[in-house]
Amino acid sequence: MNKLYILWGVLIAAVVLAASSIFVIDERQKVLVLQFGQVRDVRESPGIAFKLPFIQEIVRYDDRILSIETDSLEVTPADDRRLVVDAFARYRISDPVQFRQAVGSIQAAEDRLGRSLNAALRNVLGEVTSGEILSADRAVLMARIRDNVFAEVRGLGVDVVDVRIRRADLPQQNLAATFARMQAEREREAADERARGREAAQRVRAQADRTNVELVSAATRDSEIIRGEADAERNAIFAGAFGQDPEFFEFYRSLNAYEIAMTGENSTLVISPDSEFFDYFNSSTGRPAEAAPAQ
C-alpha cells in the first residue's frame, strides 16, 4: 500500500512538473521567457515549447495589429476655424523585449501612443487650413501624423502601421452659425439664378414680340400690296368692259344698285318717279328713256 501511494505521488509530481515545463505558443502571440524577472528567451514560432519549471515564467504579447482610438480632440487649423477631430491609430508590437523594458503592458503603451497621437494631430493640423483637412488630400496629412507618432514612440518597441482621421466637424456651438451662413449663400445664389432667368426670359419675350411685329407688318404689307394689285386689276377689267359696251355696263351697275337698295324686309325709297334711278323701270325696251324735247 505504501508503494502505491509513492507511485501516485511520483505520477502527480511528474504531471505538475510537466505542466509547469510545457507551454503552447499561439500563432497570434509572441512569448517572452523570464527568469527572475530577466528576459531569457523570445519565442515567436507557434507550437509546443519548454521552460524550467518554477524558475522561469512566460509573458504573452499579442502579435496582431492593434488599434487605439482617441477621444474627440479640438484643433485650430491655420485659418482659425476650430474643428473637432476623431482619429485612431493601428500599431503592432515589433520588439517584445524592448516593449517590456519600455512600458511593460498594453495599457501603458496605449497611454503613451494616445498622448503622442494627440500631440501629432495638433501639430500637423495646426499648420494647414480647414479646407485641406476636409478635402480628399488629407491622406498626405495622415501620413505625416503617422510619421510623427512613430518618431515619438520609436523606443517603445512598436511600429505605427497607420493613422486615420475618422471625423472632422465644426464644434457644436459653431454649427448653427455655419448652417445659417451656408443657407444665406445658397439663397443668394438662388436669387442670382432667378434674376438671370428673368433677364433671359425678358430677352426671349422681347425678341418674340419683335419677331411677331415684323411678321405681322410684313404680312400686312404683302396683303395690302396684293389687295392693291387686285383692285387695280379689277378696275382695269371693269374699265375694259365699260369701254367695250358702255350701255351694258350701265345696265349692270343699275341692277346692282336695285339689288342693294331693295334688299330687306321693309325697303322704302322716297324718290321722284322721273329720277334717273328708275330709268330702266320706265323703259319697255330695257334701255333708259330718252329725255323729252323741250317745248
- Whichever domain contains 100, its CATH number is 3.30.479.30
Domain count, the chain: 4
pTM: 0.53
Q: What is the DSSP string of 73-133?
A: EEE--TT---EEEEEEEEEEES-HHHHHHHT-SHHHHHHHHHHHHHHHHHHHHTTS-HHHH
* pLDDT tens column, 196-229: 999 999 999 999 999 999 999 999 999 999 999 9
Q: What is the largest CA-CA distance in the chain?
A: 198
In-domain check, residue 17? yes
User: Does residue 222 fall inside a structural domain?
Assistant: no
Q: Residue 131: which domain range?
A: 66-169
Question: Smallest Cα–Cα separation from 58: which of 44, 75, 72, 71?
Answer: 44
**C-alpha cell of 99?**
516593449
Q: State the Cα–Cα distance between residues 117 and 88, nearest whole angstrom.
A: 8
> Which of 62, 83, 103 is at the close of a domain?
62
Q: Is the residue at 280 inside a domain?
A: yes
Q: Quick: pLDDT tens for 257-294.
A: 777 776 666 666 676 766 666 666 665 545 554 443 33
pLDDT digits (tens, 9 = 90+) for 22-58: 778 888 888 888 888 787 888 887 878 777 777 878 8
Phi and psi at residue 55, to the nearest 5°: -105, -45
Do 85 and 157 belong together in one domain?
Answer: yes
